[in-house]
Structure 1
Amino acid sequence: MFVARAYVPDFRRPDQRARGEWPYTIPAVARLLDEGLEFTRPVTILVGDNGSGKSTIVEAIAEGFRLDSHGGRASALRGRPDRTKTPLGEVMLLDTTAAGARMLAGPRLKKRGFFLRAETAFSMTENLGGTLGYWDADTAAMSHGEGYLEVFNHIFAAPGFYVLDEPEAPLSFTASLRLVALMHELAQTGAQVVCATHSPILASLPGADVIQLDEDGFHRTTWDELTLVDHWRRCLNNPDTYLRHLTAEDDPA
C-alpha cells in the first residue's frame, strides 16, 4: 500500500465561517476534517448517494498523491498549467507508507498511479489512444464501455496508487464484473485502489474495505449492510414498490 491516511492537520483547518460553506457542510467531509480517514486494505470502496461527498474526497486524495487532477497518470506532463486545487485538496494531507514516500520522491517516470476523474473520463478515452505513455489502442473507435476496459487493462499493468471516481458509468453488467476482477488482480500485486462508486457490483469486491457515506458522515460496513444494496435488492425483486408513486399519474386507469 502507498497511502495510510488522509487527514487535515490542525494548522490547515478552516475557521468556523469557512466550515459553514461547501464542501465542509457535507457530513462525510466534516468527519474527515475532524477525524481523518484511514486506509486499512489494498482496496477501499466509498459508497454513497449523489451529494454524499464521494467525488469531493477522492479528488482531494488524487491531488494529495500528485496524480493528474484533470484525470490521468502520476507522471503526466502534457503542457498545461496545474489546475487550482479543490477546497478540500488545499487543506488535506496524506500519510504515506514507506513505499508511497519512495514513489513520490522518485523520478517522474517511475511513478505509478492514475486518477480516473468522472468529468473527464470520456474525453480521455476519446483523445489519448495512441499517445506516448498511455495506451496503443484507438479507444475513440470503440464503444464507451470497451474503451474504458481497454484503459483499465493498460493502466492496471503495474503496482501503484489508483483513484477511481465512478468508473462503472459506461459499463454493462458483465463489464463491471470484469472491472472487479481487474481491481482484485491489481490488489494482489501490491497496488492500492480507492474507488468511489454507485455500483453494488464494484462494492462487492472480495476483501475490500467498504465505507458508506451518508448524513452521519461515513462508517465502515459490509456489502450486505449497504443501503445501496438493500435498495437494489428491493427494487429488482419488486420494481413497482419504487415506481408506482412515480408513474401513477401516467396510469390510464
Structure 2
Amino acid sequence: MDNAMLYIRHAELTRERVPSFQAYPFDLPVIRSFNRLAFQKRVTFLAGENGTGKSTLLEGIAAAWGFNPEGGTLNFSFNTRSSHSSLHKYLRLAKGVRRPRDGFFLRAESYYNVASYIDQLDEEPVEPGEPVKSPLIKNSYGGKSLHEQSHGESFFSAFVHRFGGQGLYILDEPEAALSPLRQMSLLVRMHELAEQQSQFIIATHSPILMSYPGADIYLLEGEGIRPVTLEETEHYTVTKAFMNDRAGMLRELLGDGGKG
C-alpha cells in the first residue's frame, strides 16, 4: 500500500532538538537510538519485552498527533496525573494526504480515567439559558456507563460502538482486559475498520492480535527496532512452547513443585 494514503506515514525523532540523551525518556536504549519509524500497512504492531519503551513511543506518537496522553478522543482534555513523558515534543509526524474522520487513543492503564471523564461530562447540569444538552457521550459507547460494565466489556464497547471507521486508532495493550475469545472478536472488528480506511498502531504482547494478516510487526529490543514476523517474536515462541509441552515447562519452572 502507498503509505501516502495512511494518516501517519512515519514518526521521526528530531534528534538535534533533544536536550539530553541522559534523561528520561531519551535515555531508554530504543529511544536513544531512534531515528524514524515508517508505517506501510493499515495495521502496525509494536512488540517487545516490558520496559523496552513501546508504550512510551506509542504515547509519544499519540500525543504528537494531538490526543490526550491519558487517552480518549481528540476532544478529551482531562489531566488526572501528569505522568507522560516529553517525547511527543520532539517527534515529527509525516501525515498522509487524507485526514481521519475519527480517532481514539486507548491506554489500558488509564482507561478508568477516561470512563470517569465521560461520566463527569454526562452528569454536568445545563446552565440556565443554555441550549438543550447534547446527547450523552456514553451513548457512543453502547448507552451504558463504562463504569457499569466489566473492564473487558468497557474496552470492547469502545471498539464496537465508539470506533466508527475512517479513523486513526492508537491502542496500548488492548488485550489487557480481554479474554482470548474477545481478542479474536477484536481481530474481526479491526478488520472491519481497516476495510473502512482506518489505521491502527498497536503496542501489544498478544500473539492472537499480532496474527492479523498482512500487518507489520516491529520488535523493540536492545538499542533498536526491527521488522519481524509473528513467528520470530518471543510472545509467539514462548506461548507455543508452553502449550506444546506444558508439563515439561512447569517442571523446568517449578522443579519438584511442577509434578502432576
> Into which bin does the TM-score normalised by the smaller protein fall?
0.7 to 0.9
Tell me the amino acid that sits aligned with residue 117 of structure 1.
R
- Could you tell me whether the CA contact under 8 Å between 2:45 and 2:203 is conserved in 1? yes
Tell me the amino acid that sits aligned with residue 69 of structure 1.
P
Question: How far apart are the structure 2 equivalents of 1:81 and 1:166?
Answer: 20
Matched, 1:114 2:104: yes
Secondary structure of 1:211's counterpart equals strand
1:132-175 residue CA offsets vs partner (Å, 9 max, x unmatched): 34422233222221221111112221311111000001101110
Q: Which residue of 2 aligns with 1:171?
A: 178
Q: Which residue of 2 aligns with 1:6?
A: 11
Instruction: Give the direction of change, closer, same or farther, for the CA distance of 1:12–1:249 in structure 2 (3 Å limit).
Output: farther
1:191-223 residue CA offsets vs partner (Å, 9 max, x unmatched): 111000010001111121111111241111111
Runs of 4+ in 1 over 6 A off after TM superposition: none
Question: How far apart are the structure 1 equivalents of 2:16 and 2:30?
Answer: 20
Tell me the amino acid that sits aligned with residue 204 of structure 1.
S
Instruction: Give the direction of change, closer, same or farther, for the CA distance of 1:21–1:95 in structure 2 (3 Å limit).
Output: same
1:187 to 183, 187, 194: 194
TM-score w.r.t. structure 1 length? 0.84
Q: In the TM superposition, what is the alpha-carbon distance from 1:243 to its structure 2 partner?
A: 3.1
Larger Rg: 2
Tell me the amino acid that sits aligned with residue 167 of structure 1.
P
Secondary structure of 1:114's counterpart equals strand
Percent identity over the alignment is: 32
User: Please, which moves more after superposition, 210-219 or 167-176?
Assistant: 210-219
Q: In the TM superposition, what is the alpha-carbon distance from 1:128 to its structure 2 partner?
A: 2.9
Q: Which residue of 2 aligns with 1:219?
A: 226
- Could you tell me whether the CA contact under 8 Å between 2:210 and 2:230 is conserved in 1? yes
Question: How far apart are the structure 2 equivalents of 1:219 and 1:96?
Answer: 22
Tell me the amino acid that sits aligned with residue 57 of structure 1.
L
Q: Which residue of 2 aligns with 1:51?
A: 51
Q: Which residue of 2 aligns with 1:231?
A: 238
User: Please, which moves more after superposition, 171-180 or 91-100?
Assistant: 91-100
Tell me the amino acid that sits aligned with residue 92 of structure 1.
L
Q: Which residue of 1 aligns with 2:126?
A: none
Instruction: Give the direction of change, closer, same or farther, for the CA distance of 1:189–1:138 in structure 2 (3 Å limit).
Output: same
Instruction: Give the direction of change, closer, same or farther, for the CA distance of 1:81–1:176 in structure 2 (3 Å limit).
Output: closer
Show structure 1 runs of 5+ residues with no match. 104-110
Question: How far apart are the structure 1 equivalents of 2:11 and 2:242?
Answer: 35
Instruction: Give the direction of change, closer, same or farther, for the CA distance of 1:21–1:81 in structure 2 (3 Å limit).
Output: closer
Count of residues in correspondence between the two structures? 238
Question: How far apart are the structure 1 equivalents of 2:212 and 2:163?
Answer: 16
Show structure 2 runs of 5+ residues with no match. 1-5, 123-135
Q: In the TM superposition, what is the alpha-carbon distance from 1:240 to its structure 2 partner?
A: 3.8
Instruction: Give the direction of change, closer, same or farther, for the CA distance of 1:187–1:251 in structure 2 (3 Å limit).
Output: closer
TM-score w.r.t. structure 2 length? 0.82
Q: How does 1:22-61 map to 2 (within 5 A)?
A: 22-32=24-34, 35-61=35-61
